[in-house]
């Protein structure tokens, strides 16, 4: 790299320090000793996690997060309406801090930028649950896959150090699926062994967000460590009830909604008197076999059409519908590029308007071809996803405040963890049993 100016990404890859080099040497030595790097993923549960109740809803879970981003686990606690206190959080990106502070309650003194300079001993015994997804580019199939030779790949060691210094009751480590087969499995074996040596009962498995309620194909490794030996199986997949279109800002599925003419017919006094129709009736009228094809029968007034507040459950997705700004629509020139099938040596899909979205990328603001990114059509025009839609496809409700630029929000969404997968894990493990009673 001599004589060439390094980009910020290259700087982060090739960064050197005595600390980084020590970690690299340590993991290299450990990896070389592993002869049969085979570890078995934890089984899936056969229980219905959605029906499980929290045993101790009155308890408060003391939460610490590293590589916090926009706070996926924090948003999961909000959606579940669980008592929690953010003890500390950290991220080196200043714009992530802006998003985080706009959406969660945390003292300035408990926010840390560079985890390498974070002394976590002050929080020993004061945190119940630590969550972190160390930067994944070092192990991602999309990146250079340099592993521990990439300076970012050594950051998992900082996560392990904080676990050692804080001694939480349980931790959750998240990363890309590719970390499992990197260096023929040795990379994950090293990380797994380090977690076990810290005294934790370790369970791991790859989970796909499409199996937990979100229409996005996003496979990620989830690793739980329990301070006490624990029988645990990862949450069972559930049937996907939504399509990507249900998460779009300018889309309303009118399949079950009446148009103006139908509304006038249903609500007319003539038809009510003859008991052809009723709205919000206490006792249903006799259902007709062909009810879906006419306007006779029972109808309900949609809750969002009233002035009364609607109490949304953690697993319900009801979003406002509004026009999308012109800036998100692609020009003819750009649309032609993203829909191109590739070159002679590189072919890609041109499919848009998917039912299940492709994985959202932290680089999606650059607009890759359709085979990599997600594009939708509306009224005959093609557009990219808006930042709000990306947040929705990561499990963030519209209560999440956007306070940064579009580019930053695309990056933050693509780097986040899908909230609904976290919700499934929290319910399956019953996170409240690790909380503390209020003093």
Q: How far apart are CA 237 and CA 218, in angstroms?
A: 14
Looking at 136, 166, 223, 390, which residue is catalytic? 136
Between 171 and 187, the higher pLDDT residue = 171
Question: Domain 244-251+321-414 adopts which CATH fold?
Answer: DNA Methylase; Chain A, domain 2 (3.90.120)
* Residue 133, pLDDT score: 81
**What does the pLDDT look like over 31-65, one tens digit per residue?**
667 766 678 899 999 999 999 999 999 999 999 99
Q: Tell me the pLDDT tens digit for each residue of 220-247.
A: 999 999 999 999 999 999 999 999 998 9
Q: How far apart are CA 427 and CA 77, in angstroms?
A: 11
Q: What is the mean pLDDT of the chain?
A: 83
Active site residue 166: no
Per-residue pLDDT tens for 59-105? 999 999 999 999 999 999 999 999 999 999 999 999 999 999 999 99
In the chain, domain spans:
8-240+418-434, 244-251+321-414, 258-301
**3-class SS letters over 77-138:** HHHHCCCEEEEEEECCCHHHHHHHHHHCCCCHHHEECCHHHCCHHHHCCCCCEEEECCCCCC
What is the per-residue burial (b if ≥16 Cβ within 10 Å, else e) of 174-211? bbbbbbbebbebbbbbbbbebbeebebbbbbbebbbbb
pLDDT tens digits, one per residue of 210-222: 999 999 999 999 9
Measured over all CA atoms, what is the biggest interatomic distance in the chain, rounded to whole angstroms? Answer: 87
Eight-class DSSP state of 55: S
Q: How far is CA 237 from CA 36, 56, 65, 158, 427, in A?
A: 30, 25, 26, 32, 13
| Predicted local confidence at residue 136, as pLDDT | 47
Confidence of residue 267 (pLDDT cuts 50, 70, 90): low
CATH fold for domain 8-240+418-434: Rossmann fold (3.40.50)
331-388: per-residue pLDDT in tens?
Answer: 999 999 999 876 555 556 789 999 999 999 999 999 998 989 999 998 889 999 999 9
Return d(Cα 427, Cα 179) in angstroms, integer. Answer: 26
pLDDT number for residue 167: 96
Question: What are the residues whose beta carbons fall under 8 Å from the beta carbon of 413, sequence distance 6 or more?
Answer: 70, 360, 362, 387, 390, 391, 393, 394, 396
Give, in order, the Cα–Cα distances in Å from 288 to each of 149, 266, 272, 298: 68, 15, 16, 10
* Predicted local confidence at residue 74, as pLDDT: 98
Which of 133-137, 273-277, 314-318, 396-400: highest mean pLDDT? 396-400
5 has a pLDDT exceeding 60:
no
């Amino acid at each position: 790299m001599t004589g060439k100016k390094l980009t910020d990404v290259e700087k982060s890859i090739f960064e050197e320090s005595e600390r980084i080099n020590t970690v690299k040497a340590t993991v290299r030595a450990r990896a070389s000793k592993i002869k049969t790097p085979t570890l078995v993923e934890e089984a899936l549960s056969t229980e219905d996690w959605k029906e499980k109740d929290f045993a101790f809803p009155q308890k408060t879970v003391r939460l610490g997060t590293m590589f916090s981003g926009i706070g996926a686990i924090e948003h999961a606690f909000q959606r579940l309406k669980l008592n929690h206190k953010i003890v500390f959080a950290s991220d080196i990106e200043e714009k992530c801090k802006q998003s985080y502070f706009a959406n969660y309650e945390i003292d300035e003194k408990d926010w840390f930028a560079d985890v390498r300079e974070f002394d976590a001993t002050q929080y020993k015994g004061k945190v119940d649950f630590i969550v972190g997804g160390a930067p994944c580019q070092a192990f991602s199939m999309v990146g250079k896959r340099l592993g521990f030779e990439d300076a970012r790949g050594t950051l998992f060691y900082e996560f392990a150090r904080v676990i050692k210094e804080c001694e939480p009751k349980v931790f959750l480590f998240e990363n890309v699926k590719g970390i499992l087969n990197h260096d023929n499995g040795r990379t994950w074996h090293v990380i797994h062994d380090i977690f076990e040596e810290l005294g934790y009962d370790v369970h791991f498995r790859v989970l796909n967000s499409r199996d937990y309620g979100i229409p996005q194909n996003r496979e990620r490794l989830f690793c739980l460590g329990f301070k006490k030996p624990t029988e645990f199986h990862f949450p069972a997949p559930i049937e996907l009830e939504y399509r990507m279109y249900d998460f779009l800002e300018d889309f309303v599925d009118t399949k079950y909604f009446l148009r103006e003419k139908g509304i006038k017919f249903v609500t007319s006094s003539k038809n009510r008197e003859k008991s052809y129709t009723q709205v919000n009736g206490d006792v249903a009228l006799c259902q007709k076999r062909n009810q879906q094809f006419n306007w006779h029968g029972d109808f309900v007034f949609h809750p969002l059409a009233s002035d009364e507040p609607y109490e949304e459950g953690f697993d319900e997705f009801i979003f406002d519908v509004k026009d999308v700004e012109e800036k998100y629509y692609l020009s003819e020139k750009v649309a032609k590029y993203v829909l191109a099938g590739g070159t002679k040596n590189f072919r890609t899909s041109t499919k848009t308007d998917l039912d299940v979205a492709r994985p959202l990328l932290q680089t999606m603001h650059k607009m890759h071809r359709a085979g990599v990114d997600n594009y939708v059509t509306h009224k005959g025009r093609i557009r990219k996803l808006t930042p709000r839609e990306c947040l929705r496809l990561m499990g963030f409700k519209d209560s999440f405040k956007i306070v940064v630029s579009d580019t930053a929000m695309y990056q933050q969404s693509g780097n986040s963890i899908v909230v609904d997968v976290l919700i499934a894990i929290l319910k399956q493990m019953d996170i409240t049993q690790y909380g503390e009673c209020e003093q």
